[in-house]
Amino acid sequence: MESAASKSAQLTANAAEDLPAGALQAKLELAEREGRPLRVKLGLDPTAPDIHLGHTVVLTKLREFQDQGHRVVLIVGDYTARVGDPSGRSETRPVLSPEAIIANAQSYEAQAGRILDQNPERYELRYNSEWLDMPMAELLALVRTTTVAQLLEREDFSTRYKGGSPISVLELLYPLMQGYDSVAIEADVEIGGTDQTFNILLGRDIQRHYGIAEQAVLTMPILVGIDGVEKMSKTKGNEIAIESSADEMFGRTMRLPDEAMASWFELLAIAPPADGTGARDSKVALAKAIVMRFHDEAAADAAEAQFVSQFAKHELPDEIDEFSFAASDGVVHLPQALAEGFGISRSEARRLVEQGGVKIDGEAVDPAHLDVDSGLLSGSVVQIGRRRFKRFMIDR
RNA sequence: GGCGGGAUGUCCGAGUGGUUAAAGGAGACGGGCUGUAAACCCGUUGGCUCUGCCUACGCAGGUUCGAAUCCUGCUCCCGCCA
């Protein structure tokens, strides 16, 4: 049987920090001694309904715990989402309606099932409203576990405080509530991104105040988005959703800056190509591996072929959505048709035409001729830039 | 309770009566180059029935030939002192 030390080493291999040092290994030893699985906690912020690669970094780590026989406890922060987590943000997040939170959580759980083992032996899902919707007296008991000075140690709080930016009491409460989650479910280990380090560590203090064994902390590095700079997130538009199509996954991966590739290979636990492989080929390998993970090998090959034909050879994509346009007098005013077909404004359509960004069947549109014969346009492929295509069909 | 500061376009941020659809930056988008990378160059970035018109600088009203800029009221936000 594998030793706790080697299991621990395996789990911390691509992690950012294992706090306090050795705590994880101690927990693993404890589990062995007591012959029980560890309860490994992950808090979910139910604001974004779609799981993207950034989420999978932590989920994959949880899966490793499951594969070692431990039990994952997902906490849907339905109650805390009414507060807003200020992590890494300079401003307060908007609050969500209870309906939206539940819908998001369900969608999240369904998608998380693609990575996690949802066998009840190894998996548990809880909503923190279950215990956070507490009487005032209990809240006060929670609040007295922590001092303001402790909270202000958190970097973004202290930065904002020093800079004279607002910090609401509600935000200060967030780490306390998250910590109480660990009390409620008696977490042995809590996992999160490095931006959660403070919150997770504070959870230990709170557990101690409640007379519960302190959790081990394991943080994972943050995966940058396809812009190569910012944390992957849907609001920044730099994400790759695990539900997206093979072509989209492939294409979006290819837009990743070279410098970010190494971190993607590591955090997504994809074997990097042999030394000496060129940057572009490495990226292709990365893109294929990602597609393979969420689709299959055939899809990955197809996506690569599609990519090569479309972007290297400048051929049309295999599948082009149709757009039916209405034509009166047998003439179509292009800005209007483009606006309707691509969901942009007419002014924007005009600008694109002027800049030579609009092509009909591969021919750049002449800005002087914005009215085109509807019969000629019908059946043509209209393209904006490199990535947007629509087959225009006359609507009889 | 007292004092002070603020609300501008996707974001940040200039602008205190007149070529201001609003400097500059970021981001984004289009073109060139290319590996849908980076770097670099050029251009665009409120809407429209587009040599012009409409809308826009927290909300409402007012002064003025003319206001994001001045006045009044309102809403919201923030800091400091207590």
In strand B, which positions have an atom below 7 A from any protein CB?
Answer: 27-31, 35-38, 43-50, 77-80
Longest dimension (CA), chain A: 83
For chain A, give the mean pLDDT.
89
Do A110 and A60 contact (CB within 8 A), yes or no?
no
Distance, CA of A171 to CA of A177 (rounded, Å): 10
Distance, CA of A381 to CA of A31 (rounded, Å): 62
Distance, CA of A319 to CA of A302 (rounded, Å): 12
Q: Strand B closer than 7 Å to the CB of A350?
A: yes
The gap between A312 CA and B33 C1' (Å) is 14
Question: Residues A321-331: what's their mean pLDDT?
Answer: 82
Q: Strand B closer than 7 Å to the CB of A3?
A: no
Q: Which nucleotide is nearest to A247 (CA to C1')?
A: B36
Count of C-beta atoms within a 10 Å radius of residue A264: 24
Distance, CA of A171 to CA of A87 (rounded, Å): 9
pLDDT at A141: 93
Count of C-beta atoms within a 10 Å radius of residue A315: 12
Do A53 and A221 contact (CB within 8 A), yes or no?
no
Distance, CA of A53 to CA of A49 (rounded, Å): 13
List of A residues 154-173 with CB within 7 A of strand B:
164-168
DSSP A93-119: PPP--HHHHHHHHHHHHHHHTTTS---
Distance, CA of A103 to CA of A341 (rounded, Å): 30
Distances (CA, A) of A275 to A62, A197, A281, A282: 30, 34, 11, 10
The gap between A357 CA and B44 C1' (Å) is 11
Q: Strand B closer than 7 Å to the CB of A370?
A: no
The fraction of chain A above a pLDDT of 90, given in percent, is: 59
pLDDT at A149: 85
List of A residues 201-260 with CB within 7 A of strand B:
227-228, 237, 247, 250-252, 254-258
- Tell me the H-state helices in chain A: 4-12, 23-34, 53-67, 98-112, 129-132, 136-143, 148-152, 155-162, 169-185, 197-209, 246-254, 258-267, 279-294, 297-307, 334-342, 346-354, 374-377
pLDDT at A125: 94
Lowest pLDDT segment from A56-70, A192-206, A280-294, A354-368: A354-368
Distances (CA, A) of A328 to A227, A318, A319, A373: 43, 30, 28, 10
The verdict on domain A322-394 having CATH code 3.10.290.10 is yes
Do A54 and A203 contact (CB within 8 A), yes or no?
no
Distance, CA of A120 to CA of A123 (rounded, Å): 5
- Can you give the C-alpha Rg of chain A in angstroms? 26
pLDDT at A92: 41
Q: Strand B closer than 7 Å to the CB of A340?
A: no
Question: Residues A326-330: what's their mean pLDDT?
Answer: 75
Length of chain A: 396
Give the pairing type, strands A388-394 and A322-325: parallel
Instruction: Give me the interface pTM, i.e. the ipTM.
Output: 0.86
pLDDT exceeds cutoff 70 at A82: no
**Residue A14: closest CA among A197, A223, A182:** A223
Helix, strand, or coil (residue A159): helix
Q: Which nucleotide is nearest to A351 (CA to C1')?
A: B44
pLDDT at A255: 93
Q: Strand B closer than 7 Å to the CB of A348?
A: yes
Q: Which nucleotide is nearest to A383 (CA to C1')?
A: B30
Strand partners, A41: A73, A190
User: pLDDT tens, A193-224?
Assistant: 998 999 999 999 999 999 999 999 999 999 99
List of A residues 372-391 with CB within 7 A of strand B:
384-388
Q: Residue A46: which pLDDT band, with cuts at 50, 70 and 90?
A: confident
- CATH class label, A4-220: alpha beta
**Residue A36: closest CA among A121, A155, A132, A149:** A121
The ranges assigned to domains in chain A are: 4-220, 246-311, 322-394
Q: Which nucleotide is nearest to A168 (CA to C1')?
A: B78
Q: Which nucleotide is nearest to A228 (CA to C1')?
A: B37
The gap between A395 CA and B28 C1' (Å) is 33
Cis peptide before A272 (omega within 30 of 0): no
Distance, CA of A260 to CA of A252 (rounded, Å): 13
User: pLDDT tens, A178-191?
Assistant: 999 999 999 999 99
Closest alpha carbon to C1' of B77, residue: A166
**Residue A42: closest CA among A23, A19, A61:** A61
